[in-house]
């Protein structure tokens, strides 16, 4: 499918084709989210103001400046030294003017601590550092508007301590991103609801893999190919729970070398082993064993799932990672073992992302101002992918024209960019 680019859909965000950007992912607990390769995205630091976009991230620290003796940044005016301890949380900060702020947070206590910079009026977090070890210093950089702020110190195995309130003079607008903390308690109902949804998918998956096995047993390889795709797409929608699948998930997913690096079909199992045989001319007899083992693994997952528990703290991260993995694996063809259905899998991954996002939406509505923009880009991405699967026949990656490839990479890249703040906002935080 290589028809000309139809341009933005009505109501879709403006696309900026050809703009390749450096990644500036939000920091979660001092760890930067990995960047997805081979994507062209539409929002950069340089154009954020011009397009009205926001490169969303809490205040972050520069680990290269972490020291044990209060490092300075080499500027004429060094960072504001702030003490972190049980008895003097936030000592050293006396306020100032609105705009960029740099703090050198020094832990003078005998235990590691998390440190949050909060808005005293709303409780929103503007900056955070996790795991500040005793005797060490890290720089925290934020942009603050006018208002009242304080540092909250959360030592390991001790209650939170909020330091003195300080006043920043200036307009209240213009500050960097901030959000009221999401707690483990907030996320538990979301996790339980998603677990029930996954339970229903495991039943559906078991039925479809049984259909696949019957087709292979009957020697009907055309029916087996159809059943394989239906079953595989159900599994691809369950990405929010992959981390909890354990050994059954490994057997289903068929972890192993990429097709180009496989010495033979014996190098991998699960869906990809069956895929390899169905699209490489293997006989039905040779596929009965792999199809049977796949069905057994799926039934094991279905039967064991009620005893599993999703980690609520991982839900926001998974909402971002599903499409990030799509860009890394499906859009590069690394997971194509012969069927040419990477774009169908990408479309199912998008469904999985939206399912997770739907559960998190009540928490995000008041915390993420770019949520409507994210929804618009997910709609756009869905429309783009659906064009490659008209009539149920999916275009293989190698048949995409240059314009189609660029638009697909751009759409998914922008969606991934806008999903990154979901991971940041929904990272469960202590408040006491």
Count of residues in the chain:
432
Give the model confidence (pLDDT) of 176-207 as tens digits: 999 999 999 999 999 999 999 999 999 999 99
Residue 211, domain member (yes or no): yes
Report how far apart, in Å, the C-alpha atoms of 361 and of each of 186, 347, 416 are: 12, 21, 17
What is the average per-residue pLDDT within 167-177?
A: 93
Both 303 and 413 in a single domain? Answer: yes
Q: CATH number of the domain that 76 lies in?
A: 2.60.40.420
Both 112 and 208 in a single domain? Answer: no
Q: Per-residue confidence at 264, pLDDT binned at 50, 70, 90?
A: low
For the beta carbon of residue 86, count every other beta carbon within 10 angstroms: 15
Both 163 and 193 in a single domain? Answer: no
CB within 8 A of 77, min separation 6: which ones?
none
Quote the number of domains for the chain.
2
Both 226 and 261 in a single domain? Answer: yes
Kindly state the tokens that stand for 55: 């490169």
140 pairs with which residues across the strands?
61, 103
Q: Which residues of 380-403 are buried (b: 16+ CB within 10 A; e: fewer)?
A: bbbebbebbbeeeebbebeebeee
Residue 1, domain member (yes or no): no
Q: Per-residue confidence at 23, pLDDT binned at 50, 70, 90?
A: very low
Residue 255 pLDDT > 70, yes or no? no
Residue 314 pLDDT > 70, yes or no? yes
What is the average per-residue pLDDT within 72-90?
A: 77
Task: Compute the chain's Rg from CA coordinates.
Answer: 25
Alpha-carbon dihedral angle through residues 320, 326, 197, 268, given to the nearest 10 degrees: -130
Q: According to the model, what pLDDT value does residue 366 have?
A: 94
Range of the structural domain that residue 284 is part of? 184-425
Tell me, yes or no, if the pTM score tops 0.75.
Answer: yes
Q: Per-residue confidence at 285, pLDDT binned at 50, 70, 90?
A: very high
Kindly state the tokens that stand for 329: 């694996």
CB within 8 A of 58, min separation 6: which ones?
26, 27, 125, 126, 127, 128, 142, 176, 177, 178, 179, 424
Residue 30, domain member (yes or no): no
Q: Per-residue confidence at 21, pLDDT binned at 50, 70, 90?
A: very low
What whole-number distance in Å separates Cα of residue 280 and Cα of residue 264? 11
What whole-number distance in Å separates Cα of residue 57 and Cα of residue 43? 14
| Residue 205 or residue 250, greater confidence | 205
């Amino acid at each position: 499918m290589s028809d000309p680019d139809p341009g933005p859909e009505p109501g879709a965000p403006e696309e900026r084709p050809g703009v390749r950007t450096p990644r500036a992912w939000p920091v979660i607990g001092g760890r930067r989210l990995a960047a997805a390769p081979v994507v062209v995205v539409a929002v950069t630091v340089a154009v954020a103001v011009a397009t009205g976009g926001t490169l969303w991230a809490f205040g972050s620290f520069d680990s290269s400046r972490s020291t044990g003796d209060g490092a300075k940044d080499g500027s004429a005016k060094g960072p504001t030294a702030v003490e972190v301890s049980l008895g003097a949380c936030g000592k050293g900060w006396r306020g100032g003017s609105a705009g960029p702020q740099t703090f050198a947070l020094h832990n003078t206590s005998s235990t590691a601590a998390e440190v949050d910079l909060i808005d005293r009026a709303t409780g929103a977090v503007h900056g955070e550092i996790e795991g500040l070890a005793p005797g060490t210093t890290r720089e925290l950089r934020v942009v603050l508007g006018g208002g009242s702020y304080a540092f909250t110190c959360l030592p390991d195995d001790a209650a939170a301590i909020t330091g003195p309130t300080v006043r920043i003079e200036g307009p209240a607008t213009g500050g960097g991103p901030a959000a009221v903390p999401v707690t483990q308690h907030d996320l538990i109902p979301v996790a339980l609801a998603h677990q029930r949804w996954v339970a229903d998918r495991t039943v559906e998956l078991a039925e479809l893999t049984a259909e696949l096995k019957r087709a292979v047993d009957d020697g009907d390889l055309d029916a087996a190919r159809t059943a394989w795709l239906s079953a595989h797409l159900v599994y691809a929608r369950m990405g929010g729970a992959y981390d909890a699948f354990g050994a059954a998930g490994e057997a289903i997913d068929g972890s192993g070398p990429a097709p180009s690096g496989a010495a033979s079909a014996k190098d991998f199992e699960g869906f990809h082993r069956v895929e390899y045989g169905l699209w490489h001319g293997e006989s039905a007899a040779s596929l009965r064993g792999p199809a049977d083992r796949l069905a057994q693994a799926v039934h094991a997952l279905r039967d064991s799932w009620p005893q599993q528990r999703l980690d609520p703290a991982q839900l926001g991260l998974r909402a971002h990672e599903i499409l990030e993995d799509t860009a890394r694996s499906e859009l590069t063809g690394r997971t194509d073992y012969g069927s040419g259905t990477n774009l169908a899998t990408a479309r199912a991954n998008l469904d999985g992302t939206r399912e997770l996002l739907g559960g998190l939406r009540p928490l995000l509505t008041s915390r993420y101002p770019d949520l409507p923009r994210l929804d618009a880009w997910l709609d756009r991405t869905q429309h783009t992918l659906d064009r490659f699967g008209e009539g149920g026949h999916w275009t293989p990656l190698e048949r995409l024209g240059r314009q189609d490839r660029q638009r697909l990479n751009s759409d998914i890249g922008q969606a991934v960019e806008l999903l990154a703040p979901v991971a940041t906002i929904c990272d469960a935080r202590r408040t006491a």
